């Protein structure tokens, strides 16, 4: 195997807390979506009756249901805790304001507010930076990698989940420019990985159920379902969730699997909806399918004219998304170089929290966008007595709108605080944008009457929030980028709408343009396509905007890709992960397996000396994971994995030199499953000098029918086989069935279509 | 190759018009989703620049857009023509009624109505039975087969499309218990197959564009897009369309492909919507995304209680769908045996038309379900002056509701005709159900006030319509089963709702139960899962019902599968099509390739005598389509297809015996593409006795890197490889790379999990 510098297999050093502070980080490993159909496996399958298979199928459904319920509950928990804690926070500020309004010391209230934010962010950041660095960010790049077949260490552990949930709560309450939606995807995935295995290594608890599912193939299927359930809970978009999982992960579309994924998604959004309705004392009101919803776009606002479509497309071509990615790329490189100690990371997060608070204050203070306080605007802070005004739709149930700010308190704040810098009977438009939760601001930008926002306010807000969000993404806090992106996009989209209306004298509903802008910005940043369209359509609740949203996302992707990759892909690339795209680069037909494969290959004999195996496994310079098994003269007869060899060595499945078998317990699949997925390193297995002379018979344990290709096969063809079947190793044979090479994920992920044709990525380069 | 009785490769003899009347029907063939990467292909790919690939990609998008536009236009055309012609029909009846109301000869009006229906059905049936039998039915089974990789002759030809469109119009106007939605899927697929090839053999017109796409892989991708566009236009469900295509066809999920499919779907529903809005003089009102929509379910009606979910599931377990399939199965067998002449088929269709009309009359005549004619019910026949009444939603734009019956005329009919058997100020509830278009009846059942329908009326209607629809499906007319299923289900669902409300004294909105019943019935008949859920959710326009619909469909599938397969699967099976399901049967691990494969295999040498090739191709007892190419001693070096050999023979690409090459034009990929897809039969190619002694060098044309497996590979593993890559031939080699067998689609499709474990289907049995 071509040796790949080990350094690059360590996931994102900066974000992992640095090589120095976390030296025990295991290297990233790859998942094997292809079952190792060895004799043990086939025997088990052949023994199993039809009823047995049916029970397995029922278990799979049960697990998916459970994944949905737990994911929904986690989303619900985050939502409720954020609501409660934020309420206490605002209560405290409110009391402070009331106390100081008379004496004119309102700056003290502001400082109190800043200090509170600061503390929450600090707690969240310390949790992430010191206890579980992999819980930082939204987790979507990590889950994308997992579904692609690359396992980043500790990414689906219970501890990660706990830190992630606490971290998200802290960073949202801390007032950072973040959303709580992205991390739900990671949370769902962890739940799935845990539930499907029927045990937790963190809790040292093995329920002895679902043992059949303890292998990569099954686990990855469930993780797909978990990710989908997460999307579903975050955006109330079960179909979008399914498509997200498929788009990111499933190379092989399986009907039953997709159906189960959909089931998990449905259950997840239903659970969230149901429990939120209980917590809002409105049991059975199923109007909160996700953590965010965009409010109802009414039909009369929805129609667009044909001539607007080019305008939408033009908005999609605004490269603010790519600019965001560009800035974040350099910021991330800076962080990897200089901010890799946990304490530095915590300090940076606190700095961002402080800056966010200060900038908000400055903006509000210097803003002179005072809007008259009439009944229409008052509706933004709805009191239940207000009926929905004319074509301003009832955005959602009132209890939802008041998620963060109970209305009495809000009214007070509003009158005594936000109005402060404005005349009586007016309020500060900038303050309403900054002091709302991002979710609420997005909805206001979509639905508020034309004229609510001053263009200058929107412009300044866009610029400020853009830089804040860009700085925030990549901090050592758990937080998502979806909501900030939507907010930035909605702001400049609304600006476009206002500008168009004034310039071209056409009537343009600014809310509509806000939606398009949000789609353009989000699409420009994350570059998701099909699933994002469906997520946005489901969150909008109306299919009419499907076509424009799709065209905008398409434009944003095409234009954005010209300048910079998507944000997740940037982060994946910075971690040197061998990520396989959908197809081989278009112009790679001239490459054949001969050029691509790693060779020579370390092969093992079917009956091999234990010493040789130990030596091969201990060779840190190669660190291979799969070994073709051969019979002389080097004819391929199987493939065995490092993990299998480790289990064999651990159980000392040796044949004595003389040929007589030791009295040993026959190894069963259960032994492999018990060791899954944390196989011990070879260094921890002691093999005595005597044992080194024994032989091991691999016949029973190797996969006797690995997929093979010949050396003349073109790269696209190998790529297709590899990707479609989710392989980890593909053996290359010559015309006499002799092993001549091995194709692994890294061999294929190297090739990349750059601006100057096919490029070979140096996965070994930082 | 194992010889398969040729009889069974002839698609559905009965429905094809009988072996006797259509003796020239070519056998069904299989599609090859795996590119034949021969030297010619690789040379072309290697010559192509990056810009070339980009142009191809842009062409693909263009084609998908075009597919969407054309499919939308076809749907629009059908809708408008049906509307116009039905209007003339009703005008005629109306005048007749007016004339005879005074003298009391209303039975003459009834006879006029019956005769009109009769004539339309006759025309439609003659078109289908005599001119293009493959246009019968909804075409969904045929498209399922196509996407699965089985090409039924003439299924994607222009002529089929024309007949299909005319046939649908005739059968819908003829008042049969059919829908016009199913056939849209077939229509979309034909459009896609035509547009993507840039030529029409029916019209003998070759535009010389899109030549690159003239192979199975590309064509099948486009047909997926076309089918999705059809679903999208039929139900206003672009996401449902994509999922339909994926569920039925795509084994290998490709992101860009899916994205293009989605684009085609979006364009299709947009086109339909836009042109319908023009035809309704309401340009820009995008409220008709599909041929059917279910009306708007308002939020207050939507909520369901937790305790209702078991009720929904119980409704899903009502096996009326399976009963429908069971009856239709025997009916189809009867038809295959006895009704296979076109004239008999036309007579049967006419009989059904007559019976449908008579039964309706009888039911109306004997029904005494007279409902008071108040403003609420008058709304069913909406006059524009009526504002939408309280929580009865404005179902859709008025112009849409009056699709078939202009309101003045309808009012007249209503007063003078439907009221006839009732007292003044009342109307006949049975008549309203029978005399509406099925689409309109479905909407009424979903949305009408509780109390609109008498339980007896609903019960009688369900039974009658059930048998009528069951008899109608499979007639030699172009028509779909979606709408009748929905209607039957909505009727008994509403009945359940009424019954529950009276029995359990709980308030149950009958409209809600109608929706659940419709889902249960449709799901029980077609057994689609994910895509149907999404289609129904999109047609309902509200995601809240997603979970119940999904649970109902799931129950309907599980319970239904216990008794009988899905309707489409039944028809596919009756045609002995080797249809590959998603996975190998669960209990098939004990089978290895050795048992499954066909052997011995007819191999060709790399340099082979022309005579041998001609003899092999002419051997009608085997009729092989793929031949491994070997070098002595029988070492595999490639795979060549019958179609390629035919082109080679046609162009006489021979090497003279002496070894000197004939002066011949070098064959190019273009020659293969020009011949695609209708390769001439071997009998039409004349090879002289001298030429028989020549040699042919296959090196350049064979696929040098076919996928291979060994004999020990288990069936599930082979199946997965075969299905994931869409293979047509899979070569089996031994450990010295010698060809020992060949696995084809038929070898894998044979195995089937029956009630008593694994069964081997006799594909050769009628």
Helices B255-279 and B216-235, packing angle to 10 deg: 40
Interfacial A residues in 646-665 facing B (CB < 8 Å): none
Judged against a pLDDT cut of 50, whether residue A764 lies above it is answered with: no
Residues A565 and A603 in one domain: no
| Tokens encoding A113 | 């507010």
Q: What is the Rg, in whole angstroms, of the alpha carbon atoms belonging to chain B? A: 28
Judged against a pLDDT cut of 70, whether residue A429 lies above it is answered with: no
Mean pLDDT lowest among A701-715, B429-443, B606-620, B622-636: B429-443
A251 touches chain B (CB under 8 A): yes
Higher model confidence: residue A713 or residue A103? A713
Tell me how far apart the alpha carbons of residues B178 and B473 are, in angstroms, rounded to a whole number: 8
Nearest to A200 by CA among A145, A152, A161: A161
Residues A427 and A465 in one domain: yes
Nearest to B333 by CA among B762, B719, B15, B658: B15
A307 touches chain B (CB under 8 A): no
Tell me how far apart the alpha carbons of residues A722 and B644 are, in angstroms, rounded to a whole number: 27
Please tell me which of the candidates B542, B582, B733 has its beta carbon nearest to residue A256.
B582
Residues A340 and A387 in one domain: yes
How many independent structural domains does chain B possess?
2
pLDDT band for B663, please (50, 70, 90 cuts).
low
Q: What is the Rg, in whole angstroms, of the alpha carbon atoms belonging to chain A? A: 28
pLDDT band for B300, please (50, 70, 90 cuts).
low
In the DSSP assignment, the letter for residue B683 is G
Q: How far is A705 from chain B (nearest CA, A)?
A: 6
Is the CB of A714 less than 8 angstroms away from the CB of B42? yes
What integer best gives the mean pLDDT of chain A? Answer: 80
Tell me how far apart the alpha carbons of residues B588 and A380 are, in angstroms, rounded to a whole number: 63
Is the CB of B255 less than 8 angstroms away from the CB of A48? no
Final residue belonging to a domain, choices A547, A574, A601: A574
> Residue B451 domain-assigned?
yes
A753 touches chain B (CB under 8 A): yes
Please tell me which of the candidates A53, A252, A274 has its beta carbon nearest to residue B586.
A53
Is the CB of A247 less than 8 angstroms away from the CB of B258? yes
Nearest to B243 by CA among A251, A246, A64: A246
Higher model confidence: residue A679 or residue B267? B267
Longest Cα–Cα distance in chain B: 99
Judged against a pLDDT cut of 50, whether residue B391 lies above it is answered with: no
Give the pLDDT score at B167.
Answer: 94
For residue B313, the domain's CATH number is 1.10.3080.10
Q: With contacts defined as CB-CB under 8 Å, which chain B residues touch A737? A: 733, 735-737
Q: With contacts defined as CB-CB under 8 Å, which chain B residues touch A594? A: none
pLDDT band for B106, please (50, 70, 90 cuts).
low
Judged against a pLDDT cut of 70, whether residue B572 lies above it is answered with: yes
The label of the residue with tokens 């619900």 reads A76
Q: Go through B28-37 and write b for each residue having 16 or more CB atoms within 10 A of its CB, e for each that does not.
A: bbbbbbbbbb
Please tell me which of the candidates B246, B252, B590 has its beta carbon nearest to residue A46.
B590
Interfacial A residues in 703-732 facing B (CB < 8 Å): 704-705, 707-710, 712-714, 717, 720-721, 724-725
The label of the residue with tokens 């895509």 reads B531
Is the CB of A239 less than 8 angstroms away from the CB of B534? yes
Give the pLDDT score at B385.
Answer: 28
**Contact yes or no for A555/A313 (Cβ under 8 A):** yes
| Tokens encoding B660 | 């000197």
Residues 6+ apart with CB under 8 A from B363: B430, B434, B460, B461, B464
Q: With contacts defined as CB-CB under 8 Å, which chain A residues touch B236? A: 543
Residues A318 and A391 in one domain: yes
Judged against a pLDDT cut of 80, whether residue B468 lies above it is answered with: yes
Higher model confidence: residue B246 or residue B621? B246
pLDDT, tens digit, 9 for 90 and up, residues B313-361: 999 998 899 999 999 999 999 998 898 889 999 999 999 998 988 888 7
Say what the alpha-carbon torsion angle B582, B583, B585, B586 is, to the nearest 10 degrees.
-130
Q: What is the mean pLDDT of residues B169-187?
A: 90
Is the CB of A544 less than 8 angstroms away from the CB of B713? no
Please tell me which of the candidates A255, A709, A712 has its beta carbon nearest to residue B247.
A255
- Select from B48, B55, B61, B286 the residue whose CB has the most chain A CBs within 10 Å, as the one to mutate to test that interface: B286
Residues B542 and B602 in one domain: no
Judged against a pLDDT cut of 90, whether residue B363 lies above it is answered with: no
pLDDT, tens digit, 9 for 90 and up, residues A173-193: 888 888 888 899 999 999 999
Residues B562 and B601 in one domain: no
> Residue B461 domain-assigned?
yes
Final residue belonging to a domain, choices B574, B603, B622: B574
Task: Say if strands A708-710 and A729-733 run parallel, antiparallel, or are unpaired.
Answer: parallel
Other beta carbons within 10 Å of B692: 15
> Residue A585 domain-assigned?
no
Q: How far is B582 from chain A (nearest CA, A)?
A: 6
Tell me how far apart the alpha carbons of residues B284 and B291 are, in angstroms, rounded to a whole number: 17
Residues 6+ apart with CB under 8 A from A659: none
**Contact yes or no for B261/B249 (Cβ under 8 A):** no
Q: How far is B551 from chain A (nearest CA, A)?
A: 9
Higher model confidence: residue B422 or residue B611? B611
> Residue B195 domain-assigned?
no
Give the pLDDT score at B395.
Answer: 35
For A248, the closest chain B residue by CA position comes to B255
Q: How far is B177 from chain A (nearest CA, A)?
A: 30
**Contact yes or no for B532/B557 (Cβ under 8 A):** no
Phi and psi angles of residue A600, each rounded to the nearest 5 degrees, phi first: -75, 160
In the DSSP assignment, the letter for residue A297 is P
Q: How far is A252 from chain B (nearest CA, A)?
A: 5
Is the CB of B554 less than 8 angstroms away from the CB of A42? no
Tell me how far apart the alpha carbons of residues A485 and B682 are, in angstroms, rounded to a whole number: 62
Mean pLDDT lowest among A38-47, B153-162, B649-658: B649-658
Residues A405 and A459 in one domain: yes
Q: What is the mean pLDDT of residues A616-623?
A: 82
DSSP string, A136-186: SB-SHHHHHHHHHTEE-TTTT-HHHHHHHHHHHHHHHHTT-S-BSSHHHHH
A58 touches chain B (CB under 8 A): no
Tell me how far apart the alpha carbons of residues B45 and A592 are, in angstroms, rounded to a whole number: 13
A736 touches chain B (CB under 8 A): yes
> Residue B549 domain-assigned?
yes
A5 touches chain B (CB under 8 A): no
pLDDT band for B282, please (50, 70, 90 cuts).
confident
Residues 6+ apart with CB under 8 A from A660: none
Q: With contacts defined as CB-CB under 8 Å, which chain A residues touch B757? A: 50
A691 touches chain B (CB under 8 A): no
A494-502 LR contacts (CB < 8 Å, sep 24+): A494/A445, A494/A453, A494/A458, A495/A455, A495/A458, A495/A459, A495/A462, A496/A315, A498/A450, A498/A453, A498/A455, A498/A458, A499/A455, A500/A311, A501/A450
Is the CB of A50 less than 8 angstroms away from the CB of B753? yes
For residue A668, the domain's CATH number is 3.10.580.10
> Residue A680 domain-assigned?
yes
Is the CB of B285 less than 8 angstroms away from the CB of A302? no
Q: What is the mean pLDDT of residues B384-399?
A: 33
Residues B326 and B465 in one domain: yes
Tell me how far apart the alpha carbons of residues B32 and B215 are, in angstroms, rounded to a whole number: 9
Is the CB of A50 less than 8 angstroms away from the CB of B757? yes
A423 touches chain B (CB under 8 A): no
**Contact yes or no for A92/A120 (Cβ under 8 A):** no
Residues B693 and B547 in one domain: no
Q: With contacts defined as CB-CB under 8 Å, which chain A residues touch B278? A: none
Is the CB of B530 less than 8 angstroms away from the CB of A242? yes
| Tokens encoding A475 | 């901090």
Judged against a pLDDT cut of 90, whether residue A589 lies above it is answered with: no
| Tokens encoding A193 | 């990985």
Q: With contacts defined as CB-CB under 8 Å, which chain A residues touch B546? A: 238, 266, 269
Residues A566 and A597 in one domain: no
Higher model confidence: residue A766 or residue A219? A219
Residue A703 DSSP SS3: strand
Interfacial B residues in 260-299 facing A (CB < 8 Å): 262-263, 266-267, 269-270, 274, 284-287, 289, 299
Final residue belonging to a domain, choices A541, A574, A607: A574
Longest Cα–Cα distance in chain A: 99
Interfacial A residues in 587-606 facing B (CB < 8 Å): 587, 589-590
pLDDT, tens digit, 9 for 90 and up, residues B228-280: 999 999 998 898 999 898 887 765 667 888 889 999 999 999 999 889 988 88
Residues A427 and A560 in one domain: yes
Is the CB of B587 less than 8 angstroms away from the CB of A48? yes
Is the CB of B239 less than 8 angstroms away from the CB of A720? no
ipTM above 0.90, yes or no: no
SS3 content of chain B, % helix, strand, coil (to 5): 60, 10, 30
Mean pLDDT lowest among A28-37, A46-55, A269-278, B102-111: B102-111
B417-423 LR contacts (CB < 8 Å, sep 24+): B417/B97, B417/B106, B417/B109, B418/B364, B419/B373, B420/B106, B421/B364, B421/B365, B421/B367, B421/B368, B421/B370, B422/B370, B423/B370
A46 touches chain B (CB under 8 A): yes
> Residue B205 domain-assigned?
no
DSSP string, B25-93: PPPPEE---S----HHHHHHHHH--HHHHHHHHHHHHHHHHHHHHHHHHHHHHHHHHHHHHHHHHHHHH
Tell me how far apart the alpha carbons of residues A408 and A405 are, in angstroms, rounded to a whole number: 8
> Residue A195 domain-assigned?
no
Residues B563 and B668 in one domain: no
Question: In angstroms, what CA-CA distances link A193 with A188, A201, A480, B536?
Answer: 9, 12, 21, 31
Question: What's CA A438's distance to the chain center, in Å?
Answer: 20
**Which strands form B635-641's sheet, in the order they lie side by side?**
B604-605, B626-631, B635-641
Domain that holds residue B662: 593-760
Beta bridge partners of A179: A480
In the DSSP assignment, the letter for residue A661 is B
Other beta carbons within 10 Å of A764: 16
Percent of chain B exceeding pLDDT 70 equals 81
Q: What is the mean pLDDT of residues B207-226?
A: 87
Beta bridge partners of A729: A744
Is the CB of A721 less than 8 angstroms away from the CB of B720? no
């Amino acid at each position: 195997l071509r040796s790949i510098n080990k350094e690059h297999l360590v996931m994102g050093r900066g974000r992992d807390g640095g090589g120095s502070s976390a030296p025990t980080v295991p290297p990233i490993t790859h998942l094997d979506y292809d079952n190792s159909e060895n004799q043990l496996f086939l025997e088990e399958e052949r023994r199993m009756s039809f009823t047995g298979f049916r029970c397995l199928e029922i278990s799979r459904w049960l697990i998916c249901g459970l994944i949905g319920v737990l994911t929904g509950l986690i989303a619900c928990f985050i939502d409720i805790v954020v609501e409660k804690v934020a309420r206490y926070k605002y209560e405290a500020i409110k009391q402070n304001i009331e106390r100081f309004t008379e004496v004119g010391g309102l700056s003290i209230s502001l400082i109190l507010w800043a200090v509170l934010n600061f503390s929450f962010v600090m707690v969240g950041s310390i949790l992430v930076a010191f206890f579980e660095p992999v819980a930082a960010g939204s987790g979507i790049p990590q889950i994308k990698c997992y579904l692609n077949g690359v396992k980043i260490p500790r990414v689906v552990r219970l501890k990660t989940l706990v830190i992630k949930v606490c971290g998200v709560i802290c960073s949202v309450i801390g007032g950072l420019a973040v959303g709580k939606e992205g991390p739900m995807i990671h949370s769902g995935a962890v739940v799935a990985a845990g539930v499907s295995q029927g045990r937790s290594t963190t809790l040292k608890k093995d329920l002895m159920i679902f043992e059949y599912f303890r292998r990569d193939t099954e686990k990855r299927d469930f993780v797909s379902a978990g990710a989908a359930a997460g999307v579903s809970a975050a955006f109330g978009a079960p179909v979008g969730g399914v498509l997200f999982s498929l788009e990111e992960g499933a190379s092989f579309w399986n009907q039953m699997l997709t159906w189960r994924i959909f089931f998990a998604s449905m259950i997840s959004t239903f659970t969230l909806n149901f429990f939120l309705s209980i917590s809002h004392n409105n049991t059975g009101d199923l109007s909160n399918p996700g953590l965010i919803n965009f409010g109802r776009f009414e039909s009369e606002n929805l129609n667009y004219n044909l001539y607007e479509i080019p305008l939408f497309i033009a908005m999609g071509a605004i490269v603010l998304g790519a600019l965001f990615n560009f800035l974040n790329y350099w910021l991330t490189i800076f962080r990897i170089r200089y901010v890799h100690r946990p304490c530095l990371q915590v300090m940076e997060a606190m700095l961002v929290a402080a800056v966010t608070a200060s900038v908000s204050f400055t903006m509000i203070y210097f803003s002179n966008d005072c809007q008259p306080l009439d009944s229409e605007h008052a509706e933004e802070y709805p009191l239940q007595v207000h009926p929905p005004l004319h074509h301003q739709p009832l955005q959602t149930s009132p209890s939802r709108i008041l998620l963060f700010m109970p209305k009495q308190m809000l009214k007070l704040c509003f009158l005594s605080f936000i109005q402060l810098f404005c005349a009586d009977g007016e309020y500060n438009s900038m303050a309403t944008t900054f002091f709302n939760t991002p979710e609420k601001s997005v909805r206001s930008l979509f639905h508020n009457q034309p004229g609510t926002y001053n263009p200058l306010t929107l412009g300044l807000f866009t610029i400020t929030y853009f830089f804040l969000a860009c700085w925030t993404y990549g901090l050592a806090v758990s937080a998502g980028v979806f909501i900030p992106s939507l907010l930035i996009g909605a702001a400049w989209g609304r600006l476009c709408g206002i500008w168009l209306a004034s310039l071209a004298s056409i009537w343009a509903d600014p809310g509509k343009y806000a939606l398009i802008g949000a789609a353009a910005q989000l699409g420009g940043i994350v570059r998701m396509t099909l699933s994002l369209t469906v997520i946005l359509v489901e969150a909008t609740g109306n299919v009419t905007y499907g076509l424009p949203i799709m065209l905008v996302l398409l434009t944003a992707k095409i234009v954005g890709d010209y300048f910079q990759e998507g944000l997740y892909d940037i982060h994946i690339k910075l971690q040197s992960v061998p990520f396989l795209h959908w197809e081989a680069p278009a112009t790679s037909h001239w490459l054949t397996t001969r050029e691509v494969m790693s060779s020579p290959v370390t092969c093992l004999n079917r009956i091999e000396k234990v010493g040789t195996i130990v030596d091969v496994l201990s060779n840190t310079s190669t660190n291979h994971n799969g070994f073709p098994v051969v019979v002389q003269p080097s004819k391929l007869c199987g493939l065995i994995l490092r993990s299998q060899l480790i289990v064999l060595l651990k159980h000392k499945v040796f044949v004595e030199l003389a040929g007589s078998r030791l009295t040993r317990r026959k190894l069963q699949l259960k032994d492999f499953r018990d060791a899954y997925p944390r196989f011990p390193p070879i260094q921890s297995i002691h093999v005595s000098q005597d044992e080194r002379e024994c032989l091991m018979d691999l016949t029973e344990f190797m996969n006797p029918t690995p997929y093979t290709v010949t050396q003349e096969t073109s790269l696209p063809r190998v790529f297709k086989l590899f990707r479609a079947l989710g392989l980890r190793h593909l053996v290359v044979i010559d015309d006499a069935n002799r092993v001549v090479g091995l194709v692994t994920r890294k061999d294929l992920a190297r090739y990349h279509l750059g601006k100057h044709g096919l490029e070979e990525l140096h996965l070994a380069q930082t």
